[in-house]
Every structure is written in C-alpha cells, then in structure tokens.
Structure 1
Amino acid sequence: MKSCLIIDDSSVVRKVARRIIEDLDYIVDEAEDGQEALDKCRQEMPDAILLDWQMPIMGGLEFLKLLRAYVGGTDPHIVFVTTENDIGQIAQALRAGADDFMMKPFERDHLEAKFINPTRVRKAG
C-alpha cells in the first residue's frame, strides 16, 4: 500500500485531505509543520507528500529544499498546496522540487486527480 504524508498547520485541511487520500488506498500520516515532517521522513520516506506553503517553524519551501537534498528525498511525489495565486511562488516551488501544485481551497476531484494520475510538472533548476 502506498503512503502519503500530509503537511499542513491547519487541522481541518489535514482532516479533509486525509479522508480523500485514504479513500484512494493510501496509508496517511500527518505533520503540522516542515520540521515535524522532515523528522518523519527521516524515519520512513512516504511515497507521496501533500505540502502546505505557509507554516510555522519550517515552511513548505524550506522543507522541500531540505527533503530533496536528503538521501531518498527525491523519491516522493510532492504536491504543494497554496492559497497564493502568485505564479512566481509556484515556479519557485517547482524549481525547488515540487512535482505538482494546487490551490486552496481544493475540491475532492482535483485532489484525487493529483494522486490517481500523478504528473510531474517539476522544472529543472
């Protein structure tokens, strides 16, 4: 069974995303910030990550850069989620190693599509 780590400081977002992703037969774990997520990834690397952009302690971009530099950190499919509609921010995340992105609030169908037929839109950077 595939695994997914949901990283978001909002317990509501984590709860909603968990229900959707578990319905797709993923084993789901959660983290409230990038530091907690990095610690979990060092213990066991997930197959996929749903990553929030803005979080306390360690934000999504910093987590992404550290994870992709870590042994095995290039393997997870990472979908970064943001409330920002800034194309520069999206490009920055893709250059740092995100595979795909989506905007909050997200719809069930949109989130499912990111995990059923994952695509890599990551830019070489």
Structure 2
Amino acid sequence: MPLHMIKLCVGCDTVEDLVDWHAADVDGGRPWTMHTRQTPKRAAEMVDGGSLYRVFKGVILCRQPILAITTVGEGPNARCEVTLTPEIVRVAPTPRRAFQGWRYLEPKDAPEDLAPDLAGEIPPDLARQLRELGAW
C-alpha cells in the first residue's frame, strides 16, 4: 500500500489559489515541486503510488500524486524536493488540526476522492458542514 504525505498549504485559501499561484510561478514547463527541509525516511513507499494531501485553513481539500522525492545538497544545507504531477484531485473535505512541516498519512486515514462531477460544484465550507453532520 502506498504511503501518503500531508502538508499545510500556507498562503493559499482555496485550491484555485494554489493553481493560480503555481501557474504564475511556472517557468518554461518546470515540474511542480514542493520544497521541505527533511527528506522522508519512507520516501520509497510514497513514490510508489502515494500523494501529497494539502490542508487549507484546517481542512484537507485536495491531493497531488507524488512522482519523485529527492535530496538536494549535502550536510546542513541538504533539502528535500517532492516532485508532483500537475493533476490536482479534489478529496472529501476532512478537518485536520494545524501542525508544522509535513506528516505521513496512512491510506486508511486518507480522505476519499470526490467524483469529478461533484468536485467543483459544492463550496468547500458547505461540503465540510455536510460531512460533519454525516450527510455526506
């Protein structure tokens, strides 16, 4: 089973903001790369079908499949780059407390993908409220 990563999305309030932010930053078709300080010890498990789940204002709203995880630099200057597909998959809005850095996310704890026809029609706040009530 693939292992996933979860990370707060700081500076973006919505999935659309994230897409716009990346579109403005893209330079000649560069891959979508997320930078972090620590390289995961279980990186091989994440590259084999894992995704990066993003938390917006306390709610997991989307994921992106992970293509590669590499360490750049050496010693105290070493950093991690997580290369992601450009595809953003919306997931069932799931509350998540704030945390620093990133965390592993086991498949059993990962939110389900939304059907493509539902992904853009329901506002995230309404979807969260419906989920909390058990209606979705």
Q: TM-score, normalising length from structure 1? A: 0.27
The structure in which a higher percent of residues are strand is 2
Larger relative contact order (CA 8 Å, sep ≥ 6): 2
Find the structure with the greater CA-based Rg: 2
